């Protein structure tokens, strides 16, 4: 494939993928395959035309994001989900050698930009280096403009204008400086924290525990802001793919504990109530492409599931809920599918207990709450193995099965016929939940503090999984109120946080 043909595959520089509908990744796989072949043949830099190589990087970046996001099933079937990461790792030494020993300053620049723009191991380090050395370069300026505009758009799109501090962060341990830092958990709105001065001030008092909401993969290079602190942040990334990518970045530590690992474990089970539905499927109606609602409906049309009933639960706008209900009718499933929308979180366990099994099909998550809610309600789960951001070690003979899309129908039938052989609530109570998850995270931080030479005189408080106030013990918020006041002062008086804040 000639270079001009490659560049025609995908044009946008920093694409918004939300409106794409073609889930075939044939062009993207061909583009990446040709790129890796050109590297192996020593032909990538036959032309030193910066525009051509810059356009190639744009196309490659977009192709990788497409394949690792909405086109994951195609990538898994054709090459395997690790193929891009493995291929970039293998060719990384060539680009590093060019940056360090290249005879042409132009080629050195081009090689550094490849390392900075694509998911090579340690990508964030090269991106930071490129920002410092090539701050004038159009690609770096475009990147900064895109990140700034994207964050501003996120802020504009949010309905609320004032944010309670505990809506997005939680003090887990009070600092006792100078010998003992505290622990600050940031579980939402991470993009509000990327100011270097703000992070440095927070890091003087706390070790930061970061939980990316829907995973990382290679999509969120703006998170590199968290990799430049005196004490590394600990990222909670549940999935193997995210862990592998983040572990390669400098200045970052990881744990597989995130979000739903701290689901409150005090909800009584109603496992023996009458089962009204065969399958339950949970996913927001505002992100139906990521959650794959249509794939769930297609699954119900499979001959082996022609009699199965389903309860589909989710939050969302009335517009999107209406569109989904119309789709259910178009699929001829109105008599088998019940849609439950915008119900209070406290009611969900009761609805889950009325279902025999759960099905989860999302393309990417991070420590997905509903999976653990299924287990807590004694509902086994069948999950697509394409899903990023899930720790598949939690699927076993007690909890359910993780299988490729091609095996979903048969597996769902098997689990429906053998529900009595599973015991997910038993697993949840012994292996998961707030008590167990908090204890494991405490051990991780205690080890981290010891390694960094800090004292450890007090454990972290128990964590919760959902809602604006994630303290399991209500009095913990008041206990830390002076510390929250200090955070408020840092956010509002010293740094000028990009949104309006309140303490309560």
Considering the entire predicted model, what is its pTM? 0.91
Q: How confident is the model at residue 365 (pLDDT cuts 50, 70, 90)?
A: very high
pLDDT at 66 over 80: yes
- Give the pLDDT mean for 454-466: 95
* Residue 11: predicted pLDDT: 38
* Residue 330: predicted pLDDT: 97
pLDDT at 260 over 70: yes
- Sheet arrangement for strand 182-186: 169-173, 182-186, 206-210, 233-236, 252-255
- Give the pLDDT mean for 21-34: 88
CB 276 within 8 A of CB 355: yes
pLDDT at 166 over 60: yes
In sequence order, what are the residues at sequence separation of 6 or more whose Cβ sits closer than 8 angstroms to the Cβ of residue 392? 240, 383, 385, 402
CB 307 within 8 A of CB 279: no
Distance CA 406, CA 299 (A): 10
Q: How confident is the model at residue 299 (pLDDT cuts 50, 70, 90)?
A: very high
pLDDT at 329 over 80: yes
- Give the pLDDT mean for 108-137: 95
- Give the pLDDT mean for 205-224: 89
pLDDT at 441 over 80: yes
pLDDT at 1 over 50: no
* Residue 496: predicted pLDDT: 82
* Residue 116: predicted pLDDT: 96
What's the pLDDT tens digit per position in 77-90? 999 999 999 999 99
Q: How confident is the model at residue 10 (pLDDT cuts 50, 70, 90)?
A: very low
**Lowest mean pLDDT segment, chosen from 18-32, 190-204, 468-482:** 18-32
Q: How confident is the model at residue 47 (pLDDT cuts 50, 70, 90)?
A: low
* Residue 22: predicted pLDDT: 60
- Give the pLDDT mean for 363-390: 95
pLDDT at 57 over 70: yes
- Give the pLDDT mean for 61-68: 94
* Residue 7: predicted pLDDT: 41
**Better-predicted residue by pLDDT, 406 or 5:** 406
What Å distances lie between residue 298 and 21, 26, 59, 115, 328, CA to CA? 16, 22, 32, 40, 10
Assign domain 277-431 to its CATH architecture.
Answer: 3-Layer(aba) Sandwich (3.40)
What's the pLDDT tens digit per position in 469-493? 789 998 999 999 999 999 999 999 8
* Residue 255: predicted pLDDT: 97
3-state secondary structure string across 374-410: HHHCCCCEEEECCCECCCHHHCCCCCEEEECHHHHHH
* Residue 247: predicted pLDDT: 94
* Residue 45: predicted pLDDT: 84
- Sheet arrangement for strand 337-341: 337-341, 310-314, 277-282, 355-360, 381-384, 400-403
* Nearest CA among 108, 87, 95, 97 for reference residue 31: 87
Q: In the structure encoding, which two tokens stand for residue 171, read together?
A: 């003090």
**Better-predicted residue by pLDDT, 20 or 312:** 312
pLDDT at 305 over 70: yes
Residue 184: burial class (beta carbons within 10 Å; 0-12, 13-18, 19+) = buried
pLDDT at 217 over 80: no
* Residue 265: predicted pLDDT: 85
* Residue 214: predicted pLDDT: 82
- Give the pLDDT mean for 149-176: 91
**Lowest mean pLDDT segment, chosen from 41-50, 120-129, 185-194, 315-324:** 41-50
Query: What are the backbone angles phi and psi of residue 361, rounded to the nearest 5°?
Result: -130, 5
pLDDT at 20 over 70: no
Average pLDDT for the chain:
91
Q: How confident is the model at residue 4 (pLDDT cuts 50, 70, 90)?
A: very low
């Amino acid at each position: 494939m000639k270079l001009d043909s490659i560049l025609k595959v995908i044009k946008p520089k920093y694409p918004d993928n939300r409106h794409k509908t073609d889930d075939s990744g044939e062009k993207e796989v061909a583009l990446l395959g040709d790129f890796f072949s050109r590297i192996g043949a020593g032909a990538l830099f036959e032309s030193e035309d910066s525009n051509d190589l810059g356009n190639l990087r744009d196309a490659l970046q977009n192709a990788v994001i497409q394949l690792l996001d909405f086109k994951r099933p195609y990538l898994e079937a054709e090459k395997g989900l690790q193929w891009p990461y493995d291929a970039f790792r293998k060719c990384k030494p060539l680009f590093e050698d060019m940056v360090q020993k290249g005879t042409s300053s132009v080629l050195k620049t081009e090689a550094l930009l490849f390392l900075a723009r694509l998911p090579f191991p340690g990508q964030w380090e090269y991106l930071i280096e490129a920002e410092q050395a090539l701050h004038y370069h159009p690609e770096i300026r475009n990147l900064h403009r895109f990140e700034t505009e994207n964050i501003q758009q996120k802020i504009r799109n949010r309905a609320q204008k004032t944010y309670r501090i505990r809506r997005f962060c939680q003090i887990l341990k009070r600092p006792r400086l100078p010998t003992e830092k505290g622990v600050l958990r940031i579980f939402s709105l991470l993009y509000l924290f990327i100011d270097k001065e703000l992070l440095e001030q927070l890091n003087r008092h706390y070790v930061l525990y970061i939980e990316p909401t829907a995973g990382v993969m290679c999509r969120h290079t703006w998170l590199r802001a968290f990799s430049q602190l005196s004490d590394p942040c600990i990222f909670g990334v549940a999935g193997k793919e995210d862990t592998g990518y983040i572990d390669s970045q400098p200045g970052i530590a990881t744990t597989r504990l995130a979000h739903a690992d701290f689901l409150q474990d005090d909800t009584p089970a109603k496992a023996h109530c009458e089962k009204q539905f065969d399958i339950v499927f949970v996913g927001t109606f505002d992100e139906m492409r990521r959650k794959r609602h249509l794939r769930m409906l297609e699954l119900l049309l499979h001959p082996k599931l022609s009699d199965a009933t389903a309860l589909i639960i989710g939050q969302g706008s009335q517009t999107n809920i209406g569109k989904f209900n119309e789709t259910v009718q178009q699929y001829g499933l109105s008599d088998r599918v019940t849609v439950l929308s915008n119900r209070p979180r406290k009611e969900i366990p009761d609805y889950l207990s009325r279902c025999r099994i759960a099905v989860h099909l999302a393309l990417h998550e991070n420590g997905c709450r509903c999976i653990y809610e299924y287990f807590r309600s004694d509902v086994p789960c069948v999950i697509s193995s394409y899903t990023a951001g899930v720790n598949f070690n939690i699927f076993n003979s007690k909890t359910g099965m993780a299988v490729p899309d091609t095996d979903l129908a048969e597996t769902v039938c098997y689990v429906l016929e053998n529900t009595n052989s599973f015991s997910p609530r038993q697993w949840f109570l012994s292996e998961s939940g707030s008590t167990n998850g908090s204890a494991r995270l405490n051990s991780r931080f205690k080890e981290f503090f010891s390694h960094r030479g800090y004292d450890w005189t007090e454990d972290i408080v128990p964590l919760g999984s959902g809602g604006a106030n994630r303290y399991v013990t209500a009095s913990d918020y008041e206990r830390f109120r002076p510390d929250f006041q200090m955070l408020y002062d840092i956010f509002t008086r010293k740094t000028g946080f990009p949104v309006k804040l309140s303490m309560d």
